[in-house]
Amino acid sequence: MLFMSEFLVGAVAFAFRNALTRTLSNEMRFAIENHYNASDRGSLASPSVASIWDNIQTNFECCGVTSYEDWYNIKAWSELWFDKGCVHSFQNWIVKHLHVVGTIGLVIASIQLIGLLCSMLLFCSVKRRSKRSPESYKSYSPSSADLHSKNVSSWED
């Protein structure tokens, strides 16, 4: 069930990648317009929107969502600005690191598939064993005479 849901989420994300790009772009623009406060730097444990945006723009060498023009209506102006927008830089970063994400996904899927196969083999083995022997371990009740004879014979050896 978990394996199928993970596969389904991956397939839906792949199918709607253009819609995801638009949503990412809209959310980034919303964060700049409504939550960017240059005086609020936050802390290491909970960074502010301003510090997150500043780090993104510095590390990706980008400015705004689609271009530096996204900052025109914002009261705060970044000290360092670049021509290209961050949405495309972020997408390029994801594409460049997609092999890592894909490898991690394949490893996790392989482990889950091996676990699924092992549990199937165990189930089949238990089912086959229960069909072969009519008495299961629950129905077996050794008599006290059998136990006594085993104990005596083990002491004699």
For the stretch 74-129, pLDDT in tens is 766 656 678 888 888 888 888 888 788 778 888 888 898 899 999 999 999 988 88
Domain extents in the chain: 1-70+80-96
Alpha-carbon torsion (50, 54, 60, 62), positive or negative: positive
**Cβ proximity of 32 and 76 under 8 Å:** no
**Cβ proximity of 81 and 75 under 8 Å:** no
7: Cβ contacts below 8 Å, ≥ 6 apart: 109
For the stretch 46-66, pLDDT in tens is 788 888 888 888 888 888 888
Taking the alpha carbons at both ends of the chain, their separation in whole angstroms is 54
Q: Inter-axis angle of helices 2-15 and 17-35, to 10 degrees?
A: 80
| Predicted pLDDT of residue 146 | 58
Q: What is the DSSP letter of 72?
A: T
